[in-house]
């Protein structure tokens, strides 16, 4: 099977290698299909009990990525919800020479002045506002809103329905939970967790877990 196929527009569309055959992997696979990508070359998963992804070859454990690169596979995506692991594996794939394209659902709306880092995925109905900057390996999950001038460092996860006001800053590998709302201009530190439904109205220190309305430290 050729790994690279020409598209109608002349741009190269690649048979991408997916890493992770869990729930997030299924969401990424649907997004690739909706966005008109060719079928993925396959999926890798370290779980020996993994059933893989429907209709996609299960090519073995993650270590197989090295040999597949040598066989000419050019692009990959880490579809794992664990932020630290996604970042580490994404950078490992980049060091092997894989391209890490941004995967964007066609219903996502991204301002022309926004920037999205390699290896990131935008699931259905995401909105990214003017001059927002999103780092590498981000998950912008279903229906989240990243307003204008926000700055998201690498490997963050903005969960479904979360809303980031203008100028919000999110540190590397932080998780903003389902439906959380962040006041314009607040900063969430690296590795922090914002709980489901939180209303964040002041800065969150690195590594802290907060929740509630208004959000307070939980542990
Ligand atoms: C905040 C969170 C990380 C806490 O998880 P946890 O450490 O396992 O904590 P627990 O469930 O044991 O709860 C600990 C306490 O915090 C409270 N709590 C948990 N989540 C809360 C939230 N979102 N808001 C307010 N309080 C919360 C619990 O009621 C409990 O209170 P208690 O000690 O008075 O009984 C988790 O509840 C959460 O919101 N995760 C985000 C999940 C998410 O959005 N994922 C993305 C999926 S796509």
Residues of the chain with CATH 3.40.50.20: 4-100
Nearest-atom number in ligand 1 for the CA of 81 is 48
Rounded to 5°, the CA angle 20-21-22 comes to: 100
Residue nearest (by alpha carbon) to ligand 1 atom 1: 195
At residue 66, what are phi and psi to the nearest 5 degrees?
A: -65, -50
* Band of residue 218 on the pLDDT scale cut at 50, 70, 90: very high
Fold of 4-100: Rossmann fold (3.40.50)
Nearest-angstrom CA–CA distance, 98 and 165: 34
Residue 167 pLDDT class (50, 70, 90 cuts): very high
What is the per-residue pLDDT across 100-137, written as a single tens digit (0 to 9) for each?
999 999 999 999 999 999 999 999 999 999 999 999 99
Q: Both tokens of residue 115?
A: 């920037």
Does residue 6 have a pLDDT over 50? no
Which part of the chain is CATH 2.160.10.10? Answer: 102-202
Q: Which residues are part of the catalytic machinery? A: 148
Q: What average pLDDT does range 152-161 have in this prediction?
A: 99
Strands 17-19 and 42-44: parallel
What is the CATH class of 102-202?
A: mainly beta
119 is in an annotated binding site: no
Identify which of 25, 125, 105, 148 has the alpha carbon closest to the alpha carbon of residue 134: 148
* Distance in Å, CA 195 to ligand 1 centroid: 6
The pLDDT value recorded for residue 59 is: 96
Q: What is the pLDDT of residue 43?
A: 98
Q: Say if residue 3's pLDDT is above 60.
A: no
Q: Does the structure show a pLDDT above 70 at 54?
A: yes
Q: What is the pLDDT of residue 144?
A: 99
């Amino acid at each position: 099977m050729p790994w690279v196929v020409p598209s109608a527009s002349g741009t190269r569309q690649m048979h991408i290698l997916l890493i992770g055959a869990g729930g997030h992997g299924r969401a990424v696979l649907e997004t690739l299909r909706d966005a008109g990508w060719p079928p993925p070359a396959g999926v890798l998963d370290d779980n020996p009990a993994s059933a893989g992804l429907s209709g996609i070859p299960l090519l073995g454990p993650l270590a197989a990525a090295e040999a597949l690169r040598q066989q000419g596979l050019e692009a990959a995506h880490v579809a794992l919800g664990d932020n630290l692991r996604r970042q580490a594996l994404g950078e490992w794939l980049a060091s092997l020479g894989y391209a890490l394209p941004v995967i964007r659902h066609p219903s996502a709306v991204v301002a022309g002045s926004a920037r999205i880092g390699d290896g990131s995925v935008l699931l259905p109905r995401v909105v990214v506002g003017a001059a927002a900057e999103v780092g590498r390996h981000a998950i912008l999950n279903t229906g989240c809103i990243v307003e204008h001038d926000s700055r998201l460092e690498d490997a963050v996860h903005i969960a479904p329905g979360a809303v980031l006001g203008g100028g919000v800053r999110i540190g590397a590998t932080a998780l903003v939970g389902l439906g959380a709302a962040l006041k314009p201009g607040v900063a969430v530190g690296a590795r922090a967790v914002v709980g489901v439904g939180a209303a964040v109205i002041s800065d969150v220190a690195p590594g802290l877990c907060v929740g509630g309305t208004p959000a307070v430290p939980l542990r």
